[in-house]
Amino acid sequence: MGAKVPKLLRVEVIRKWLQGKTRDEIANEVGIGAGTVSGIIKEYKRDDPDADLLREVALKIKHEGMGIQSFAPLIRLREVLKQREWISGLRQGEQEGDDGGLDNESEKKMESLIISLEVFCFKRNLTIIDFFDSIYKMYLAAEKFDIPIEEFPIYVPELDAKIETLTEDIRIMKKELDGFKVRNQKLTQQLVKAVEEGTKYKINQKLGNELEWMIDEGELEWLNEDLGTDKVINPSNLREMLMDIYYHPSKYGDIVRELIGRSIDHGPLSESFRRWLSRKK
């Protein structure tokens, strides 16, 4: 009975066999007999019924220039499908040798789904990635609004109607806000004008009060006698005339000119006032 073949050597033989090399090539490269190589491969096939299929896959990957990353996602996907029991893979409680692949019905359905998905995306000028992104966003929206995803299409028109209502409300509120701005601007202008008028009124009132206190009754009596008119001049209407001259001097150029001349020629007492004084005596 010969010595047992070391594990490291058996692994090397299987690795080369999976790469597609012949028995003689393996024996020559590893440095063992061709019979020993055949024995290792036979033992490996007995322990793994899918050994030939695995070798075929390995050769396919090699010939296509692919690496392990090319089919790793498919393995992960298959495990997910098995966990969800969407395929009849080996699960807890099953015996080895049971069918570990997709049943025919599931395989047909998945193939039909893939073809339909390709047609759907092509007609809408979408990539598969775009499609899955849209599905994921729809799932997030359904979760956010607590809507069953299978009923989500029913809620889309309702959501559109709500959006239109909100848009109209925003438009109305914006219009009202613009109206408030216009009215506020008018009120501001009126307030400014009122302040100016109030300030002017206070000035006039203050000046009028000062004039009423400063004007001698004899002065007004003399003025009314000298004018000889039916209209009596009092502090109030005298103040109005003076204020009009004060705020609108351009209307009274000739009067202002005469006043300036009289002030220079006669000083503070006019000739008429002197005559009035002499009659009083």
Q: Does residue 121 belong to any structural domain of this protein? A: no
In this structure, what token pair is assigned to residue 15?
Answer: 């690795």
pLDDT (0 to 100) of residue 94: 45
Among 87, 104, 130, which residue terminates a domain?
A: 87
Judge whether 56 lies within some domain: yes
What is the full per-residue pLDDT of the chain (281 aa) written as tens digits? 456 888 888 888 988 888 888 889 999 998 888 999 999 998 888 888 778 877 887 777 777 766 656 666 767 777 777 776 666 554 444 444 444 445 567 767 777 888 888 888 888 888 888 888 888 888 888 888 787 877 777 777 877 888 888 998 998 998 888 888 888 888 888 888 878 777 776 666 666 565 555 666 777 777 787 777 777 777 777 778 888 888 888 888 888 777 777 665 555 545 554 554 455 44
* pLDDT (0 to 100) of residue 265: 57
Q: How many domains does the chain have?
A: 2
Domain-located, residue 55: yes
In a domain, 269, yes or no: yes
Q: Which of 39, 70, 87 is the last residue of a domain?
A: 87
Instruction: Give the pLDDT confidence score for residue 15 in this predicted structure.
Output: 86
Owning domain of residue 252: 215-281
197 within a domain of the structure (yes/no):
no
pLDDT at 67: 63
Where among 44, 71, 87 does a domain terminate? 87
Residue 141 lies in a domain: no
- With respect to residue 77, please indicate whether it lies within any of the assigned structural domains: yes
Q: Is residue 65 part of a domain?
A: yes
Specify the pLDDT at position 195: 80
